[in-house]
Amino acid sequence: MLITSSVIEVNDGGFAETERYLAGLPNVEVRGISEDKRRILLIIETEDGEVLEKISAEIGKCPGVFSLLHHSFHFDEDE
């Protein structure tokens, strides 16, 4: 199990589009939004790094996304 906290930096005017896009992605949960709607805090839960990589690539395809940066990784054994 891999639990990742990540932050999306949103392009000008790209928040609504990005929010809609994220809602359609599995394993991605929006857990925080900055007041100016330019940063979105995500939790991504995956079984392994390969899935995380694919999800990260998918997020990067959204035109509203400027960048995806990570804050923390938890790679403990599953319960």
For another protein, what does the binding mask look like between residues 34 and 63, x meaning CB under 8 A? xx--xxxx-x-x---xx-xx--x-------
Q: Quick one: tokens of 68?
A: 């995806």
Q: Work out the widest C-alpha separation in the chain, in whole angstroms.
A: 41
Instruction: Examine residue 4 and tell whether it contacts another protein (CB under 8 A).
Output: yes
Instruction: Examine residue 20 and tell whether it contacts another protein (CB under 8 A).
Output: no
Instruction: Examine residue 67 and tell whether it contacts another protein (CB under 8 A).
Output: yes
Radius of gyration of the chain (CA): 12
Instruction: Examine residue 26 and tell whether it contacts another protein (CB under 8 A).
Output: no
Q: Quick one: tokens of 11?
A: 């392009």
